[in-house]
């Protein structure tokens, strides 16, 4: 699937898809679900997230 | 360069050109040889009110011409949709432009507080609006390129 096809199916511009791929933009939860639906896979298989800095404990 | 960035660049250049030509026109037609008019509030009121529709109409015409030329040269369409990332970038750019304008507004009020001529306030207001628009466009290009 091309970036443009994915963009068309999720209702965003190709530039946004490129930015997500390059980790320059974090999509909203809605867009993330839309992308996962297009690929017909669970969200966590399309996106992954790692916490770099542990929050300070009081 | 992405299509959206081209569009922003056109807005940036057209903003500069429109205010440049408008300033030149107003100076040559009204101010040159009649310097006392610059302290006339009625003159500045008209200059402000006319600048707004002139800017809107000129921007629309310039963008239509850009769409046509871009289509002919590159055979690509400018995306009409404004997705979530575009809206977020727009909001961030507006916030920056508001800050720039607020600084300009404070400077214009400051000029009156220290007893400068009224035309200084009007010029500062016009150019703070101009720099706010420029800052907004530059911020958009920055966010599109750098990401966030």
pLDDT in tens, A24-41: 899 999 999 999 999 999
Domain boundaries, given as residue ranges, for chain B: 3-146
Report the alpha-carbon distance of residue A36 to residue A43 in Å, rounded: 5
* pLDDT score, position B30: 86
* pLDDT score, position A58: 52
ipTM of the complex model: 0.75
Share of chain B above pLDDT 90, in %: 61
Query: What distance lies between CA B73 and its chain's CA centroid?
Result: 27
Looking at residues B114-120, what average pLDDT do you find?
Answer: 92
Looking at residues B75-96, what average pLDDT do you find?
Answer: 87
A10 pLDDT band, cuts 50/70/90, is: very high
Using alpha carbons, select from B115, B119, B111, B116 the residue that is nearest to residue B30.
B119
Tell me the chain A residues in contact with residue B80 when contact means C-beta distances shorter than 8 Å: none
- To the nearest whole Å, the CA of B84 is away from the closest chain A CA by 8
Mean pLDDT (chain B, rounded):
90
Domain boundaries, given as residue ranges, for chain A: 3-46
Report the alpha-carbon distance of residue B6 to residue B95 in Å, rounded: 22
Q: Kindly determine whether residue B83 and residue A28, on different chains, have CB atoms separated by under 8 Å.
A: no
Using alpha carbons, select from B136, B147, B143, B141 the residue that is nearest to residue B7.
B141
Looking at residues B67-88, what average pLDDT do you find?
Answer: 84
Tell me the chain B residues in contact with residue A12 when contact means C-beta distances shorter than 8 Å: 81, 83-85
Determine the residue of chain B that is closest to A11 in CA distance. B83
Answer yes or no: CATH 1.10.10.10 is held by domain A3-46.
no
């Amino acid at each position: 699937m091309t970036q443009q096809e994915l963009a068309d199916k999720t209702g965003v511009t190709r530039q946004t898809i490129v930015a997500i791929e390059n980790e320059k933009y974090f999509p909203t939860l809605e867009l993330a679900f839309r992308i996962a639906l297009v690929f017909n896979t669970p969200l966590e298989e399309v996106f992954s997230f790692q916490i770099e800095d542990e929050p300070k404990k009081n | 360069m992405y299509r959206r960035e081209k569009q922003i660049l056109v807005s940036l250049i057209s903003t500069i050109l429109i205010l440049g030509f408008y300033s030149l026109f107003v100076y040559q037609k009204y101010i040159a040889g009649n310097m006392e008019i610059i302290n006339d509030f009625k003159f500045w009121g008209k200059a402000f009110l006319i600048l707004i529709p002139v800017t809107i109409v000129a921007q629309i015409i310039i963008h239509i011409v850009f769409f046509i030329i871009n289509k002919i040269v590159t055979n690509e369409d400018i995306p009409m949709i404004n997705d979530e990332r575009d809206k977020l970038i727009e909001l961030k750019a507006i916030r920056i432009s508001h800050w720039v304008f607020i600084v300009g507004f404070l400077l214009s009020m400051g000029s009156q507080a220290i007893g400068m001529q009224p035309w200084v306030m009007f010029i500062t207001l016009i150019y703070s609006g101009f720099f706010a628009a420029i800052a907004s466009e530059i911020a958009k290009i920055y966010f599109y390129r750098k990401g966030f």
